[in-house]
Amino acid sequence: MIGGPQGSGINASAEVFAKACSRAGLRVYANIEYHSNIMGKHSFYRVRVDDEDVRSYKDKADILVALDQETLTGDGDHRRWATHYGHLGEINEGGGVIFDSEIGFDPATAKRPDLRFYAVPFMEIIKKALEEVGKGEQARRYEVMKNTVGLGASLALCDYPFDLVAEVIRSQFKGKRSEVGELNVRAAKLAFEHVKQHENAKEFPYTLKPGGEPKARILAKGYEIHAIAKLKAGCAFQTYYPISPATDESVYLERQQREYNLLVVQCEDEIASINMAVGAAHMGVRASTATSGPGFALMVEGIGFASITECPGPVLVMYQRGGPSTGMPTRQEQGDLQFALHPAQGEFPHVVIAPGDLRECYQDTFSAFNWAERYQMPVIVLSDKKLASVYTTIDKLELRWPDIDRGEVFTGTEWTAVDAKGPNDSGSQTGHNGNGNGKMDLANVKEYLRYAFAKDGISPRSRPGVTGGRHWITSDEHDPDGHITEGVEMRVAMMNKRMNKLKLLQKAMPQEQQYFLHGPKDADLTVLAWGSTKGTILDALKALEAQGKKINFLQCRLMRPFPAEAVGAILRSAKRIVSIEENYSGQLAQLVQEQTGVMIDQRINKFDGRPFSEDEVANALAKVYDGAKAEPVVTHVH
């Protein structure tokens, strides 16, 4: 774990270390905690490394690198209400603490006699490295290298091969900057040697060895995976308005614009973002946007608009963060499931899917474009801050991507797809150009109708510029032409037509993308959860299984249309059920109750803005397993 003020580069050193481990065949799970602030406030990064898959963080680390006093003891000394108490309590028995000797910290005050403390003269080391290239007097300008010093020092403790890390540092400073890279390697090396000489560093209990052999793995963050899936799915138009933690995805795509012929538009607000994307989707391009709670709150009218007009999109990646209102912009929460399910006025079809890890982020984001076009409705991919920013190894994504499915498209050459089953408009107007007045006989309409009552309810879509595919779209209720209607029969027929598409979609979607039962079929306890807690729960279950506890885990992924029958059947046959969610009320539990009639009385919730640790989940579940009532609230205070 490395901590320091924002802007001090802790993420750079944590990520260099993560890379050096991943390249050597180890598995990595790294996550950052930071404030909604640019410079100065406390942030920290945890890097967990193992030979086997790691999908969550643990309460305690083996080594702490502190770039400042606050990382050690918290901010109670300069804030009326402390936001945290430092990380000394989050170090394993006998672990190591590396800190900048300049801060003048006295280890005796730590009340952790078991820990080993290393005061490292960060600035002196930087100065020494600079002196070697004749720039000793510029040390203050290179203060940002403190993070590298911290990294070098920690490598000495865990005895990880220095060269593996040096290689990563060099690869990050290429070309003209290679000189700076060398300087960083030098500073890290000096720190490494400084700690190695320490009497106290011998026989440090926590060591790390490179993996057996390097694997073809990548180390990625969720926002990158969402973005790459969009590229691969043929998204051509992305809109956004800056907001944490969604912005990274759009900026990443913006960087790829020239290479992939994709247009990224920074809009004046989220209302513009969603509606521009709707305009693009109706024009026939695969369009998307990304936002988080406050932005989503502005987008809602556009979602209903997309749905009533049977727009082939857009795809919206919604990165949940701590709410309500501005809430906790950079912190984790699964607080927007019910909001995503009911975003706007009236009743309309849309898809909500919640991926549980990076692989699912990529599958669901890709599929979302296919569903949007085939079923002509907006799709919400419900991601979150944790998925967006987690930095973790994944086996190289198999490049067998799903096929592109653009749904039913009117090409302008033939038009036969009209089913006569729609209601006849009893009025004297058909409204369609050239169709004349008189009773509407849908069976004999020879012209293209955008909202024709096709057999399965999906009318082939057209787009401006297509000869003969002319039509109107309106946010009002409409007839097959797309003209406004308030007629009773047409209203009922159009509502049925739109809503029925959800059933079609559910039938066509692979079951494992809808829900998944992890672990034994037959268990004493069934965990019900969704989204980014997946990895944490799987890690915790592995630990509990080793203790002989038989627990399985029902992961819900497709939230709308909800696979009520299948989920209900699994839950009805479960002995006991407990839900785990990172929100206050248990929003999935509510959804399951509503959809299946199965009551979820035992709920474990956490809403402190931090994701569950493996230990928190394991401890909470162990208690429930042993018969205790679920503790309704878990918070991370050590």
Partner 1 sequence: MSINAPAKPLTLKDYKSDLHNDWCPGCGDFGILTGIQMALQQLQIEPDKLAVYSGIGCSGKTPHYINGYGFHTLHGRVLTVATGGRLSNTDLTVLALGGDGDGYGIGAGYFVGAGRRNADFAYIVHNNNVYGLTKGQASPTLSKGKKTKSMPEQAIQDGINPVAMAIASGYTFIARAYALEPKYLASIIARAIRHKGSALVDVLQTCPTYNDLYTKEWYEGADLPEKRSRLYKLEEKGYDGKVQDPTDEQEMIAKKAAAVARSYEADPIPIGVYYEVELPTYEDAVFQRIPALGEKPLVEQDVFHRDVTPLLEGMR
Contact positions with partner 1 (CB under 8 A) in 428-447: 429, 431-437
Stretch that binds partner 1, among 33-41, 82-90, 231-239, 371-379 (CB under 8 A): 231-239
Tell me, residue by residue from 321 to 360, as one string, x for binding to partner 1 by CB under 8 A and - for no binding.
Answer: ----------------------------------------
What number of chain residues touch partner 1 (CB under 8 A)? Answer: 73
Six-digit token pair at 448? 């293209």
**234 interacts with partner 1 by CB under 8 A:** yes
- Residue with Cβ nearer partner 1 (210 or 327): 210
CA separation for the pair 527, 539 (Å, rounded): 13
Distances from the Cα of 619 to the Cαs of 11, 59, 259, 610, in angstroms?
29, 11, 48, 17
C-alpha pair distances (Å), 313 with each of 203, 365, 379, 411, 538: 59, 12, 7, 19, 33
Q: Does 315 bind partner 1 (CB under 8 A)?
A: no
Cβ atoms 90, 64 nearer than 8 A: yes
316 near partner 1, rule: CB under 8 A: no
The four Cα atoms 266, 271, 277, 280 give a dihedral, to 10 degrees, of -100
Q: Of residues 465, 486, 546, 637, which one binds partner 1 by CB under 8 A?
A: 465
Cβ-based neighbour number of residue 615 at 10 Å: 18
Does residue 218 interact with partner 1 by CB under 8 A?
yes
Strands (DSSP E) found in 222-337: 235-240, 263-266, 286-291, 315-320
Question: At 443, phi and psi to the nearest 5?
Answer: -65, -25
- Please state, in angstroms and rounded to a whole number, the distance separating the CA atoms of residues 64 and 91: 7
Q: Which is nearer to partner 1, 232 or 560 (CB)?
A: 232
Task: Name the segment binding partner 1 (CB under 8 A); options: 230-238, 335-343, 376-384, 559-567.
Answer: 230-238
Q: How far is the CB of 10 from partner 1 (least distance, A)?
A: 20
Residues 449 and 416: their CA atoms lie apart, in Å, by 10
User: Of 53-61, 217-225, 533-541, 556-564, which part binds partner 1 (CB under 8 A)?
Assistant: 217-225
Q: Strand 91-100 vs strand 61-66: parallel, antiparallel, or unpaired?
A: parallel
Minimum distance from CB of 499 to partner 1 (Å)? 21
Q: Residue from 39, 399, 546, 637 that binds partner 1 (CB under 8 A)?
A: 399
CB of 169 to partner 1, least distance (A): 15
Q: Determine which residue in the list 123, 297, 409, 484 makes contact with partner 1, applying CB under 8 A.
A: 484
**For residue 148, which of 167, 126, 131 has the smallest C-alpha distance?**
126
Q: How many C-beta atoms lie closer than 10 Å to residue 202's C-beta?
A: 7
In Å, how far are 409, 457, 505 from 461, measured between CA atoms? 5, 12, 17
In the complex, minimum distance from the CB of residue 311 to partner 1, in angstroms, rounded to a whole number: 10
Please select the residue that binds partner 1; options are 179, 441, 476, 545, rule is CB under 8 A. 476
Among 293, 356, 460, 482, binds partner 1 (CB under 8 A): 482
Q: Is 180 in the site for partner 1 (CB under 8 A)?
A: no
Residues within window 237-296 making contact with partner 1, judged by CB under 8 A: 237, 239, 256-258, 260-263, 265, 267-269, 271-272, 275-287
404 is a site residue for partner 1 (CB under 8 A): yes
Asked whether position 619 contacts partner 1 by CB under 8 A, the answer is no
Half-sphere exposure of 626 (CA within 13 A, CB side): 9
Identify which range of 109-117, 242-250, 332-340, 468-476 contacts partner 1 by CB under 8 A.
468-476
